[in-house]
Amino acid sequence: MSENEKRILIVDDTPTNIRVLVPILMDHGKFQINIANNGLDALKLLEKIVPDLILLDVMMPDLDGFETCKRIKNTSHLKDIPIIFLTAKNETEDLARGFELGAADFVSKPFNSVELIARVKTHIELKTNRDLLKTRLEKLVHERTLQLENETSEKLKLKDQLMQSQKMEAIGQLAGGVAHDFNNQLGGIIGSAELIRYNTENEKILKYTNMILNAAQSSANLTKQLLAFARKGKETNIPVDLNKAIKQISQLLQRSMDKKIKIVHNFEEMNAFTLGDPSQLENAMLNISINASHAMPEGGTLTYRTYLKELEDNDISQLSRGTYAVVEINDTGTGMTQEVRERIFEPFFTTKGKDKGTGLGLSATYGAIQQHSGAILVDSEIGEGTKFTLYLPASSEKIQNSANTVDSIPDIKGCRLLLIDDEEIILTTAKEILLQLECKVQTFDNGVDGIEYFKDNHSEIDIVILDKIMPEMNGHEVFKELKKIDPKVDVILASGYSEEQAQEILNDGVKTFIRKPYTISLLSKEIAKLLSQKD
């Protein structure tokens, strides 16, 4: 049957009718004709064929036209076939019943060939158009459904990302707040322990004091990691050679790691530089590498790859367009389940047993990378290994070597200091330390009293040590007031947060920043530096 050759089923029990109908149809178009002599035969035939039109006699024995019509209309794949009733009498009652049952039309016997052909062709054409429309509509609906599904999954993905970053932000604030307060207490502990150390010759006391100092120092490292997570820790902004940092980490790892783990360097870019804090970035990569080594208890390969990549906006969410130095750290270890993968950056999330992991390694790493305006991505499959990809804004500036600090205590005898800090423990210990170093110290636990004292005594003060975060009047506000009294006032700003956080007040003229908790040597060194600049 050609494409436009339509199929017509004639259902009639009178052979004469069929003999008349068939030639009329054949003379006026290309039709494929099927014939059934009664309703039951017709229904049987309709199990095999689907015609485009049915000519149905009303008056038939057993199953009459109306009943046949009813059954056809009740069959879902046949119900749209137009049915034209063939009727001898043109009675309105018949017409009404026929239309009620779903007939499309009537032709009456004896047949007028022109009328018959006109009706047949019209109904076939109507059906063809209906079918066409239906197919088009179905296609449109299908396309739109797919589009909606895509939009929905894209929206869900974005919502997921947003929720994840809001969660990290909230945890960050919480962790940062706790770490900040904890840091102040540590300052007190370290200061007091140092005081004991400088005031005793007793071996035993010295030993215990050193134990306190060691414990406090590792707690300080912990809070430093938490503050790094809270994105308040970037301390310097110098060019960092990522390849060199990787080499240094590798040396360290080679010494401590199982020899069954092979380290591979795949430096595709020799100038993979970013601006930032080298020790923080090294720590970040070290955390990832140590985790990788833990994930390969039976040995494996740890591969570092570096290269540069141009990113467009939205290539990676949160990163703006530009050139990025990319570090990939790949292990062939155990891999992670999706549940673990989704939580690895949360502080204190660990799958390692008690005393084996704090769950802070990757949190600090996450914070450090965020702080460097970068991004960290993770791909992992159980049994296949894990890949961390770090994106850091590339820098064309090269590294300059900076001198290391020496842990000695300079002579600052006679220096006159004003110390303002709202933490009682800091005030007491710092004062004691400074008195030990034979300085003159005046302390205040709030800015207002400090300023009042400074007003009357500023000629007697060499340096002011000022806490950044205080209730009522913060460090910055106090500094502004001090400057009004003495524009040349020398101030050391102390804070648990990073220098970057204090940038505004540093820009305003505060000469020195010191990170809490500070040690005697660090504080005295900064004081000595300022004193030497005075002369």
Ligand X SMILES: Nc1ncnc2c1ncn2[C@@H]1O[C@H](COP(=O)(O)OP(=O)(O)OP(=O)(O)O)[C@@H](O)[C@H]1O
Residues that bind ligand X (CB under 6 A): 287, 291-292, 295, 331, 333-334, 336, 340, 344, 349-352, 357-363, 386
CB of 382 to Mg ion, least distance (A): 19
Pairing of strands 416-420, 385-393: unpaired
Instruction: Give the nearer residue to Mg ion in terms of CB position, either 81 or 261.
Output: 261
Dist CA 21 CA 404 (whole Å): 109
Cβ-count burial of 534 within 10 angstroms (0-12 exposed, 13-18 middle, 19+ buried)?
Answer: exposed
CB of 360 to ligand X, least distance (A): 4
CB of 361 to ligand X, least distance (A): 2
Window contacting Mg ion (CB under 5 A); options: 178-186, 291-299, 312-320, 321-329? 291-299
How many contiguous H segments (helices) and E segments (strands) does the chain have?
A: 15, 17
**Total chain residues near Mg ion (CB under 5 A):** 2
Window contacting Mg ion (CB under 5 A); options: 329-337, 359-367, 396-404, 420-428? 359-367
CB of 331 to ligand X, least distance (A): 5
CB of 375 to ligand X, least distance (A): 17
CB of 143 to ligand X, least distance (A): 42
Instruction: Give the nearer residue to ligand X in terms of CB position, either 28 or 341.
Output: 341
> Considering all CA atoms of the chain, what is the largest pairwise distance in Å, rounded to the nearest integer?
134
Dist CA 282 CA 461 (whole Å): 41
| Nearest alpha-carbon partner for 402 in 159, 213, 239, 174 | 239
Helix (H) or strand (E) holding 377: strand 375-381
> By CB under 5 A, is residue 291 in contact with Mg ion?
yes
Q: Which does 352 bind (CB under 5 to 8 A by kind): Mg ion, ligand X, none?
A: ligand X
Instruction: Give the nearer residue to ligand X in terms of CB position, either 379 or 481.
Output: 379
| Nearest alpha-carbon partner for 426 in 445, 409, 451 | 445
Question: DSSP state, 394?
Answer: B
Q: Which does 331 bind (CB under 5 to 8 A by kind): ligand X, Mg ion, none?
A: ligand X
- Residue 216 CA, chain-centre distance (Å), reads 35
Dist CA 408 CA 237 (whole Å): 26
Pair 236, 503: CB distance under 8 Å = no
Instruction: Give the nearer residue to ligand X in terms of CB position, either 36 or 362.
Output: 362
Instruction: Give the nearer residue to ligand X in terms of CB position, either 287 or 370.
Output: 287
CB of 293 to ligand X, least distance (A): 9
Instruction: Give the nearer residue to ligand X in terms of CB position, either 51 or 335.
Output: 335
Instruction: Give the nearer residue to Mg ion in terms of CB position, either 333 or 361.
Output: 361
Q: Which does 351 bind (CB under 5 to 8 A by kind): ligand X, Mg ion, none?
A: ligand X
Window contacting Mg ion (CB under 5 A); options: 27-35, 64-72, 289-297, 515-523? 289-297
> By CB under 5 A, is residue 361 in contact with Mg ion?
yes
For tokens 């590798």, name the residue.
250
Instruction: Give the nearer residue to ligand X in terms of CB position, either 48 or 356.
Output: 356
| Nearest alpha-carbon partner for 54 in 120, 5, 108 | 120
CB of 189 to ligand X, least distance (A): 22
Q: Which two tokens stand for residue 396?
A: 């064309």
Pairing of strands 273-276, 322-331: unpaired
Nearest residue (beta carbon) to ligand X: 361
Dist CA 401 CA 399 (whole Å): 6
Q: Which does 375 bind (CB under 5 to 8 A by kind): Mg ion, ligand X, none?
A: none
Q: Which does 303 bind (CB under 5 to 8 A by kind): Mg ion, ligand X, none?
A: none
The set of residues, in sequence order, having a beta carbon less than 8 Å from that of 308 and lying 6+ positions away, is 269, 272, 323, 324, 325, 326, 394
Window contacting Mg ion (CB under 5 A); options: 211-219, 290-298, 380-388, 515-523? 290-298
CB of 359 to Mg ion, least distance (A): 8
| Alpha helix segments (H runs only) across 200-265 | 203-229, 242-256
Pair 301, 292: CB distance under 8 Å = no
Instruction: Give the nearer residue to Mg ion in terms of CB position, either 276 or 361.
Output: 361
CA distances from 320 to 310, 313, 393 (A): 10, 5, 10
Neighbours of 531 (CB within 10 A): 17
CB of 384 to Mg ion, least distance (A): 20
Nearest residue (beta carbon) to Mg ion: 361
Taken in order 194, 196, 202, 206, the sign of the CA dihedral is negative
Instruction: Give the nearer residue to Mg ion in terms of CB position, either 39 or 361.
Output: 361
Q: Which does 332 bind (CB under 5 to 8 A by kind): Mg ion, ligand X, none?
A: none
Window contacting Mg ion (CB under 5 A); options: 277-285, 360-368, 431-439, 450-458? 360-368
Plot region of 390 (φ>0 → left; ψ -120 to 50 → alpha; else → beta): beta
Instruction: Give the nearer residue to ligand X in terms of CB position, either 379 or 477.
Output: 379
The residues facing 466 across adjacent strands are 420, 493
CB of 386 to Mg ion, least distance (A): 12
Report the interface residues with Mg ion, using CB under 5 A: 291, 361
